[in-house]
Amino acid sequence: MQVISSKDNEIIKNIRKLKEKKYRDLENAYIIEGIKLVKEAIAEKAKIKQIVMCENFADNQEIDKETLYEIAKYNLIYVTEKVFDLITDVKTPQGIIAVIEKNKTNKIDYSQDIIIALDDLQDPGNLGTILRTADSANLNQIILSKNSADPYNPKVVRSTMGGIFRVNIIEVDKLEETLKEIQKNKFKIMVTSLDTNNSIYDVDYNKKVIVIGNEANGVSKEVQAMADEKVKIPMLGKTESLNAAVAAGIMIYEYVRRKVEK
């Protein structure tokens, strides 16, 4: 077993670069970390370009032989603990990292009941949580405006808990133009707004684009002007707004509730 011990190794240098968005875009790849995510990637047939394992990984982790056998089928390299510490993104690493090719497509699936669109969402944690929530509701796509957080940021990837492999992330340069195209396909745009008496419980969830806005400013004025429906989440307390991921989760699960009732 050959073990890479130099931080100047070209493979290691290229993986370290993927911590930065510009290199993730350039290489069309991102990093996942931890045995759970690697197993998910294998199960979902993600495009695994490389797996990096710390030389003492199998000694420190409770892992079955079948999983080790599956991992060995890929382009696998071993590194020293010192080198692994240079490429890990977490404080207590498990000792395994994989480089995944982005599964990018701009084709929108119009067969679903609802589509989630994110309008300049900035927080990686919020984005990851929304991706995970959408996945839990069997929604397989998210439309993401150009100025939103990078969906392949390591924090986003971790917080999706594997949803990153199952949800198609459609990144668009001009959200307004994309929404106009969706409207032509007989979908209605629904935005959250305090400027309405309609609640999320008063509307149907059939062929709708639910737009979740920026954490500080909400849905942009341009998208608000395009909206077919404006709704608000009823609140009994004094708080006037909710965290973006919480708001998205409430609306997604109102859709789920109705789906289950049917």
| Structure confidence by residue, pLDDT tens digits, 135-189 | 999 999 999 999 999 999 999 999 999 999 999 999 999 999 999 999 999 999 9
Write the CB contacts of 159 (distance below 8 Å, at least 6 apart in sequence). Answer: 124, 125, 127, 128, 129, 131, 132
Name the helix (H) or strand (E) containing 65.
helix 65-71
Domain positions in the chain: 3-101, 114-261
Strand, helix or coil for residue 100? strand
| Residue 81, phi then psi, degrees to nearest 5 | -60, -40
The predicted structure's pLDDT at residue 146 = 92
Q: From its phi and psi, is residue 138 left (phi > 0), alpha (psi between -120 and 50) or beta?
A: left
* Per-residue CA distances from 166 to 141, 142, 156, 217 (Å): 8, 11, 14, 29
User: Could you tell me the sign of the dihedral formed by the alpha carbons of 18, 22, 27, 29, in that order?
Assistant: positive
The pTM score is: 0.91
CATH class of 114-261: alpha beta
b/e per residue 13-29 (b: at least 16 CB within 10 A): eebeebeeeeebeebeb
Instruction: Report the candidate in 160, 167, 170 with the shortest Cα–Cα distance to residue 37.
Output: 160
Answer yes or no: same fold for 3-101 and 114-261.
no
Which pLDDT band holds residue 241 (cuts at 50, 70, 90)? Answer: confident
Mean pLDDT along residues 90-108: 90
| Structure confidence by residue, pLDDT tens digits, 66-85 | 888 999 999 999 999 999 99
Give me the residue label for tokens 């409770």. 62
Q: Does domain 3-101 have CATH number 3.30.1330.30?
A: yes
Q: Among the listed ranges 9-23, 38-52, 54-68, 108-122, which one has the minimum average pLDDT value? A: 54-68
Specify the amino acid at residue 21: K
